[in-house]
Amino acid sequence: MFTEAHKRSLDEHGYCVIEDVLGPSKTADVRSRLVKAAAESERRGISTYIEGLDPNPNNVRVFNLLDLDPVFIELISHPLALEVARHVLDDDFVISNFTANIAKPGSDSMFVHSDLALVLPEPWHAPWSLNVIWCLDDVRGENGATLFLPGSHRFECMEDVPADIAEKMIPFEAKAGSVVAMEGRLWHTSGANRTQDEERGLLFGYYSRSFIRPQWNFNVGLSDVTKATLSPELHELLGLELAANLKPFEGPG
Ligand SMILES: O=C(O)CCC(=O)C(=O)O
């Protein structure tokens, strides 16, 4: 449940942790489908290691999740995810991307960034994007929890970002089955997985205001078979309709 306390945390700190969104057996099921999706992605020629994004291949990235298994369509349109998105993005949003990052032992931090800075030049005045992060494993500092700087969603330009930000960051801690909602302006990075044998699987549902170009071109990424399974609401949220940016305009007066 998305409570007033979660809303306050998002507003004050730039994130909140919503526990017990998925039960243990559902979490395990999504986790095993993610492993299969990673293999299928490789088979289709979309690499799960992106040079320049991660320092080494121990981070397994899975793009185009929505075309790989219907369970990911279920999660991107999960009522709780859409409720949080509506709260932050004023009911005027699209799905920008949906990806996974499995941090295996030996994985290391990527570059520090905010997700809004990746899609929009400064200044960043308003909460115009949001990540809904699905935790498929227990997440803690040792196994590569996302590192973030609380309150950094108030930085409006690069000049506001401290040069030593990486040293000031702290890890998200959350149980498997939780959702971490992270405002798009919050500065963060992936943590290094320092365990011997624990994997950290996270899914990143990225939503942005409708006037920001999405990160992923779902018109190309989704097969006709997948498109045929989607609701009219998802067609709109994924930008699959002919009109991409035509909206009724309420002029003055
Ligand atoms: O995996 C993580 O902990 C963070 C990933 C991330 O920030 C990204 O891919 O943009």
* Nearest CA, atom 4, ligand 1: 190
Looking at the predicted structure, is the pLDDT value of residue 246 above 90? no
* Nearest CA, atom 2, ligand 1: 190
**Is 242 within the bounds of a domain?**
no
Structural domain of residue 106, as residue ranges? 4-237
**Is 174 within the bounds of a domain?**
yes
Q: Tell me the torsion sign for CA atoms 109, 175, 114, 199.
A: positive
pLDDT per residue over 107-141, tens digit each?
999 999 999 999 999 999 999 999 999 999 999 99
CATH number at residue 196: 2.60.120.620
Question: In whole angstroms, what is the distance from residue 63 CA to residue 99 CA?
Answer: 5
**Is 251 within the bounds of a domain?**
no
Q: Could you tell me if residue 65 is left (phi over 0), alpha (psi between -120 and 50 degrees) or otherwise beta?
A: alpha
Max Cα–Cα distance, the chain, nearest Å:
64
**Is 253 within the bounds of a domain?**
no
Q: What value does the mean pLDDT of the chain take?
A: 97
Looking at residue 91, its pLDDT comes to 87
Mutation to probe ligand 1, out of 165, 204, 215 (largest number of atoms < 8 A from CB): 204
**Is 48 within the bounds of a domain?**
yes
**How confident is the model over 76-93, as a mean pLDDT?**
96
**Is 176 within the bounds of a domain?**
yes
Looking at residue 96, its pLDDT comes to 98
Both structure tokens of 173: 């801690």
**Is 109 within the bounds of a domain?**
yes
How many domains is the chain partitioned into structurally? 1
Looking at residue 244, its pLDDT comes to 86
Q: Which residues line ligand 1 (CB under 6 A)?
A: 101, 146, 188, 190, 202
**Is 182 within the bounds of a domain?**
yes
Confidence of residue 144 (pLDDT cuts 50, 70, 90): very high
